[in-house]
């Protein structure tokens, strides 16, 4: 029996935004029988042309496969789809994988709801853009019952890339997602601010970019070093004490504001560093901030 006709290799995708469409495309390209549904109709024409089955309702879609992947904007949206009586009943005894992004608490709540309704539940997070899906560059994080993950791993593998099961706590994939998004968005905010300050100084983004990449290249070993430092609570400032770091932050604030550029983000960061110094930890490294912001 080919993957295309084997019912155990059938999959349903609920949600056809850019990511849902990419997931459905990858399943189709892997030869899986793929049923699709989206709240707003008409978003599946090209998927149907590639062989997808278009369901007229979410419950019809769920009934078509043992595994349903839902990928919508957040868990308010996935609740709106899944917690309708007909959909919940159709899911009973089947497996649901929620790849929508939200908080760990929402993931745990959804797992608890699924358990009450006899739905086998895995949570997950996608860490790479829609364009990576189906390629080696895709990164998926999963959490929930390991046995269930292993059972569906062959179908999920059709999405390409790296899949990591992080543990039984259903909120764990979302916990990683939140921490990694924290890094991503603060880095993006720093970079867009840097581009604005550089432009005000007559430096184009293209001129700055190679040097920005040099800064980015410093970060991977620092991430490893800071993680160990923070886990151990040593906050070593031997090579770069926070007094010195705070001084460079002040330079960014002054240079930005001289051009009328909002420096509130760097003011917050400098403020955190100054609090560390005020508490007598001026010889420590920047990682001591982790204590100040958690109120320890
Ligand atoms: P969006 O986050 O914009 O989600 C769009 C999808 O959500 C559509 O299917 C939309 O349906 C549906 N939706 C929104 N509100 C509701 C609702 N109340 N009820 C039912 N469906 C609803 O686009 P993406 O597809 O890109 O993202 C989906 C998820 O994937 C998000 O959680 C996102 O964070 C995550 N993700 C996306 C990445 C990307 O590169 N795009 C990268 C990594 C993660 P409709 O068409 O009817 O509006």
The answer to whether residues 97 and 54 belong to one domain is: yes
For 136, the domain range is: 7-168
The answer to whether residues 129 and 205 belong to one domain is: no
CA of 171 to the centre of ligand 1 (A): 19
β-sheet with 34-37: strand ranges across = 53-54, 34-37, 11-14, 67-70, 95-98, 120-126, 139-143, 162-165
Q: Which atom of ligand 1 is nearest to the CA of 17?
A: 25
The answer to whether residues 91 and 153 belong to one domain is: yes
- Residues with Cβ within 8 Å of 4's Cβ and at least 6 positions away in sequence, in order, are 31, 32, 33
Q: Does any ligand 1 atom lie closer than 6 A to the CB of residue 38?
A: yes
CA of 189 to the centre of ligand 1 (A): 23
> Helix (H, G, I), strand (E, B), or coil: what is residue 164?
strand
Provide the token pair at 268: 């917050």
Straight-line distance from the first to the last Cα atom of the chain, in angstroms, rounded to the nearest whole number:
60
Given 145, 168, 191, the domain boundary residue is: 168
The answer to whether residues 30 and 135 belong to one domain is: yes
Q: Which atom of ligand 1 is nearest to the CA of 76?
A: 18
Asked whether the beta carbons of 229 and 236 are under 8 A apart, the reply is yes
What is the CATH number for 241?
Answer: 1.10.1040.10
Q: Which atom of ligand 1 is nearest to the CA of 39?
A: 47
Look at residue 188 and tell me if it is in a domain.
Answer: no
Q: What is the pLDDT of residue 296?
A: 62
* CA-to-CA separations, 216 to 67, 204, 247, 266, in angstroms, rounded: 40, 18, 21, 18
Look at residue 146 and tell me if it is in a domain.
Answer: yes
Provide the token pair at 230: 């923070």
pLDDT interval class at 9 (50, 70, 90): confident
Mean pLDDT in residue range 140-154? 97
Across the chain, what does the average pLDDT equal?
95
**178 C-beta neighbours (distance < 10 Å), count:** 15
Query: Number of folded domains in the chain?
Result: 2
Asked whether the beta carbons of 19 and 130 are under 8 A apart, the reply is yes
Nearest protein Cα to ligand 1, atom 23:
17
CA of 99 to the centre of ligand 1 (A): 10
Nearest protein Cα to ligand 1, atom 37:
19
- Residues with Cβ within 8 Å of 69's Cβ and at least 6 positions away in sequence, in order, are 11, 12, 13, 14, 23, 97, 99
Residue pLDDT, tens place only, 103-128 = 999 999 999 999 999 999 999 999 99
Mean pLDDT in residue range 13-41? 98
Mean pLDDT in residue range 256-279? 97
Asked if pLDDT for residue 3 goes beyond 80, the answer is no
CA of 50 to the centre of ligand 1 (A): 21
The answer to whether residues 163 and 235 belong to one domain is: no
Asked if pLDDT for residue 237 goes beyond 90, the answer is no
Given 168, 189, 220, the domain boundary residue is: 168
Q: Does any ligand 1 atom lie closer than 6 A to the CB of residue 15?
A: yes
Task: Give the percent of the chain with pLDDT over 90.
Answer: 92
Selection from 80, 97, 227 nearest residue 173 by Cα: 97
The answer to whether residues 132 and 25 belong to one domain is: yes
Look at residue 187 and tell me if it is in a domain.
Answer: no
Q: Which atom of ligand 1 is nearest to the CA of 72?
A: 7
Q: Does any ligand 1 atom lie closer than 6 A to the CB of residue 160?
A: no
The answer to whether residues 130 and 233 belong to one domain is: no
Q: Does any ligand 1 atom lie closer than 6 A to the CB of residue 40?
A: yes
CA of 71 to the centre of ligand 1 (A): 6
The answer to whether residues 152 and 214 belong to one domain is: no
Q: What is the pLDDT of residue 122?
A: 98
CA of 235 to the centre of ligand 1 (A): 40
Residue pLDDT, tens place only, 40-62 = 999 999 999 999 999 999 999 99
Whole-model pTM: value is 0.92
Q: Is 131 exposed, middle or buried (0-12, 13-18, 19+ CB in 10 A)?
A: exposed
CA of 73 to the centre of ligand 1 (A): 3
The answer to whether residues 19 and 164 belong to one domain is: yes
Given 168, 191, 211, the domain boundary residue is: 168
Q: What is the pLDDT of residue 295?
A: 74
Provide the token pair at 130: 């829609």
Q: What is the pLDDT of residue 5?
A: 43
The answer to whether residues 227 and 161 belong to one domain is: no
The answer to whether residues 156 and 265 belong to one domain is: no
3-state secondary structure 77-108: HHHHHHCCHHHHHHHCCCEEEECCCCCHHHHH
What is the CATH number for 34?
Answer: 3.40.50.720
CA of 68 to the centre of ligand 1 (A): 16
Look at residue 37 and tell me if it is in a domain.
Answer: yes
Look at residue 174 and tell me if it is in a domain.
Answer: no
Look at residue 185 and tell me if it is in a domain.
Answer: no
Look at residue 184 and tell me if it is in a domain.
Answer: no
Look at residue 178 and tell me if it is in a domain.
Answer: no
The answer to whether residues 15 and 114 belong to one domain is: yes
């Amino acid at each position: 029996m080919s993957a295309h006709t084997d019912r155990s290799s059938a999959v349903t995708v609920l949600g056809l935004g850019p990511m849902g469409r990419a997931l459905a495309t990858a399943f189709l390209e892997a030869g899986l029988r793929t049923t699709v549904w989206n709240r707003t109709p008409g978003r599946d024409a090209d998927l149907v042309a590639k062989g997808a089955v278009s369901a007229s309702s979410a419950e019809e879609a769920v009934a078509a496969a043992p595994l349903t992947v839902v990928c919508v904007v957040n868990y308010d949206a996935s609740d709106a789809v899944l917690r309708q009586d007909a959909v919940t009943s159709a899911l009973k005894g089947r497996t649901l994988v929620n790849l929508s992004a939200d908080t760990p608490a929402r993931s745990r709540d959804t797992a608890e709801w699924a358990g009450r309704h006899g739905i086998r539940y895995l949570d997950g997070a996608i860490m790479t853009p829609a364009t990576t899906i189906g390629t080696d560059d895709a990164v998926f994080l999963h959490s929930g019952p390991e046995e269930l993950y292993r059972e569906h791993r062959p179908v999920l593998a059709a999405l390409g890339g790296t899949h990591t099961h992080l543990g039984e706590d259903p909120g764990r994939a979302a916990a990683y997602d939140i921490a990694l998004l924290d890094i991503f968005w603060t880095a993006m905010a720093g970079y867009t601010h840097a581009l604005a300050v550089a432009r005000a100084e007559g430096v184009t983004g293209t001129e700055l970019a190679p040097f920005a990449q040099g800064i980015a290249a410093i970060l991977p070993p620092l991430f490893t070093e800071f993680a160990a430092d923070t886990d151990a609570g040593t906050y070593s400032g031997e090579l770069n004490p926070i007094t010195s770091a705070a001084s460079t932050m002040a330079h960014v604030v002054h240079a930005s504001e001289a051009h009328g550029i909002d420096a509130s983000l760097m003011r917050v960061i400098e403020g955190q560093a100054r609090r560390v110094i005020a508490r007598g930890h001026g010889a420590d490294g920047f990682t001591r901030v982790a204590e100040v912001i958690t109120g320890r």
